[in-house]
Amino acid sequence: MKRTALLAPIALLVPAAALSLVVSCAPPYPPPPATRVAEVVDTLHGVEVPDPYRWLEDQDSAETRRWIDEQNAYAERIVGQPPLRARLAGRLGDLMDTDETETPRRGGDFEYFTMRRKGEELPIVYRRPAPAGAGEAGAPATSGRSSRPDPAGTYEVVIDPHPMSPDRTTRVEIVAVERTGARLIYSVRDGGQDEVEIRVRDLASGGDLPDRLPAALYSSVSFARDAGGFYYSRRSRETGARILFHAWGEPVDQDEVVFGEGYGPTAFVSMTQADEGRVFIYTVQHGWARTEVFVQDARRARPPTPVVTDADARFYPRMVGGELWMRTDLDASNNRLVAVDPASPAPDRWRVVIPETDEVMEDFTVIGDRVYVTYLSDATNRIRVFEKDGTPAGEIDVPPLSQASIRGEGDGEALLTVESFTSPATTWRLDLETGERTIEEPPDVTWDASAVEVEQVWAASKDATRVPLFVVHRRGIALDGSHPALLTGYGGFYAARKPDFSATAATWVESGGVYAVAVLRGGSEFGERWHRAGMLLDKQNVFDDFIAAAEWLVSSGYTSPERLAIQGASNGGLLVGAALTQRPDLFRAVSCAFPDVDILRFHRFTRTNNMPALLEYGDASIPEHFETIRKYSPYQNVRAGTAYPAVLVATGDLDTRVPPLAGRKFAARLQAATSSGLPVILRYHPKAGHAAGRGLPFSRRLEDAALELTFLMAQLGMPVE
C-alpha cells in the first residue's frame, strides 16, 4: 500500500519529567572506563576549538591500545549475554548465512566467479566450464546460470583465501580475466582497508606470476588486448590518481604513466577499454558532482582527445555502435542521454538520444536494438524501453516500492533482478518479446512477509521540503505511539537509498518493531538539485530532513522518543551523530558505525583515503566552509551535562577511508558529557574497516550484527520473544 501524508515540522521536546521517567526505568549501568583529558585548543579563523581527546588520534600508542581494550570489555559488560542476544544471533544467522555470489566472468573455456557458500567464512574463487553462448571472453558471463552449490561437482577451486590468515580476515576478489583464459588478476585485501595487493594467477600452472602490485588504492584494472601486460589506476593520498601500464616481467616502479598527470588527491581517475579494446575512455571524477571525459585510440599515437573538461556536471560514458553515449546532468538535473562522435566531440554536435524527464535517469543498457533505461521515481525503480533513436517502446513491469536492474542475455532474453523491503533479491529470466519470465535465482532466505505492510509517506523538513520515508511494520498496528522504531538514512555522495532487503530490518519487524528509511537530500533520488541541496554549505538540510522524518514517526503515532532508535554508518554515521547532538531529546538509542564525526579536522587527517570527500563536506580551512561545518560537526557539538541517548559507536583500525580516530574521540567525549545515565559504548576491531563487508569473516559479521541489535532492542525495552 502506498500512503501519502504531509505534516508540518513540530517542535518536539520531551518534558523533564518524562525524560526522568525514561532514565529511571533503565537499569543502573556501570560507569565507562576513565579516559584521560589532555586539553588541546586549535584556533581556526580566529575561533578557539577545544579538542580534549586529541591523544586518542595516536592509533598505535600503548595508551590508546589499552583504552580500546577497556572499551571493548565495557561494551561486552553493558550488552552482556541475555537470552535476547542468543535469539537474535540465531535468527540473523538464518537470514544472513546464504550463498553469496558475484556475476561470473568468461575466460577461454571457463567462467570464473567468487562464492561464499553457506556456513563458510569467506568467498572463494571458483571456475566452471562455460556453456556455448556464455558471452564475450573477459566480460561478465551472460549465461545467467546460478553460482549456488553444484550437485554435479563442476566447480573447481581457483583461489581459497581461508589458509591465508589464521583469523580469516584476508579476502580475495576477481579483478580481471584474460580473454584467452591464460591469466586472472585478483586482489588481496587485509581486513577492511581500502588498499589491496594486485596479483596475477597463471591459470594453467595454478601459481602466481612475479608481476605483483604492492598494497595501494587500485581501480580500472584490465588486460591489454595484445596480451603484453595490463593497465591500472593507482591513487595516492599525496599525488592523486594515475593510469599506468605494466608490461609482463618488468619492474613495477618502471610502469609507464598513460594518463592522469596533474590531477590531485581530490580526483578519481579511471579508464575503460571500449570497442573491443581499440578505444580508451578516460574519466576524471572531481568528488561526486563533476566529471571530465577524454577518448584516445588504443595505440596512443596521439594525445587523448578532450570530450568534456570544464562542465560543472557528471558524465557516465560508454561506447555504443561507434558513438560515445553519455548519461549526464548537464542542463538536465534528472539526467539525459546524449550521443557524441569521438572524432568530433564538440558539445554543439552532441545528439540527444533520450531527453530529461520528471524522473531521474539512473542507468541504461543496450540489449539488441533497444535501450533499457532504469529510472528513479519517488526513490523506487521503473524500467522504460526505447528504440535507439529515442522513440518510446514500452516498459518492463516492476513491482511497486522496489528496486530493479536489468542486463542482457542475448537471443532476446534478459535477466531482471528485483528487491524490496519484504523480498530478498530475486533474479528472473525475461523473454523480451513475449514478456514471459521465470525465476533464474530464487532467494535463499526464509522470511514470511504476508503479515507485513510497507508504506511510503511524506514529511515536511524545516524549510518545508517534502521528504519521503518508507515505513515497514506488521499489518494493523495501533498508532498509539507504543511501538519501538528504528529509523535509518544516508543523505550524501549522490547515493540513492532505495528499497532493499535487510536481515536487521526483517528481524526488527518480526520482533514487533517499526522500521523506517528516510530519503534525504544529498542523495540522487530526485536528481542533481536534490544532491547539491545536501552538500557543502547546505549539509545541514540533510540533518533537518532526518529529524523531520523522526518527528513524523512520533507525531503520526508510530512511536515515541523513548522508543525510537536511529542507525547509520559512514556518511550515515555523520547523519546520526549530528542528529543525536542536535536533538538528543528525540531518540532513545543510537547506532553510529564507522562514522565521519570530526568534519572540522577532516582536511587534516592525512591517513584517510577519502580526500575527494572534501568536495562533498567542505574544507574547514576555507572560512566560509568552516562557519558551516563547526555548527554541525558532531564531535565539536557534544555538550557537557546533556542527557544523551544510549549510543553504540563501532569502528576499527583498518578503516582507511573514514578515520577511526574520529569514532574513538566521539565515544570518549559522549561518555564524559552525558547526564542521562544511559550507556555510551565503543565496539572496536583491529581488522575492521570500510571495505569488503567491513573486512571481517562471516562469523564476526554475524556477532557484530547480533550485538548491535541486542543493544538497540534492550534500550527500547523490546521483549526477548
Burial class (CB in 10 A: 0-12, 13-18, 19+), 146: middle
The whole-angstrom separation of Cα 674 and Cα 677 is 7
Interior CA angle at 624 toward 622 and 630, to 5°? 90
Residue 63 has phi, psi (to 5 degrees) of: -65, -40
Which of 493, 576, 521, 553 minimizes the C-alpha distance to 379?
521
Q: Which amino acid is at 37?
A: V
Write down the number of H helices and E strands in the chain: 11, 38
Reported as type and span, the H/E element at residue 582 is helix 571-582
Judge contact between 7 and 556, C-beta under 8 A.
yes
Q: How is 118-142 classified by DSSP, letter by letter?
A: TT-SS-EEEEEEPPTT--STTSB--
According to DSSP, residue 160 is labeled: -
Which of 502, 493, 499 minimizes the C-alpha distance to 521?
493
Q: How far apart are the first and last CA of the chain?
A: 28
Chain centroid to Cα 488, Å, comes to: 14
370-377: strand order across its sheet: 360-367, 370-377, 380-387, 392-396
The whole-angstrom separation of Cα 35 and Cα 359 is 51
According to DSSP, residue 26 is labeled: S
Which is it for strands 323-328 and 336-340: parallel, antiparallel or unpaired?
A: antiparallel
Interior CA angle at 636 toward 632 and 640, to 5°? 115
The whole-angstrom separation of Cα 272 and Cα 324 is 12
- Report, in this order, helix, strand and coil percent for the chain, each rounded to 5: 25, 35, 40
Give the active site residues: 570, 690
Judge contact between 522 and 536, C-beta under 8 A.
no
Alpha helices by DSSP H, 583-622: 614-617
Which of 507, 498, 437, 495 minimizes the C-alpha distance to 468?
498
Residue 620 has phi, psi (to 5 degrees) of: -65, -10
Which of 373, 396, 320 minimizes the C-alpha distance to 351?
320
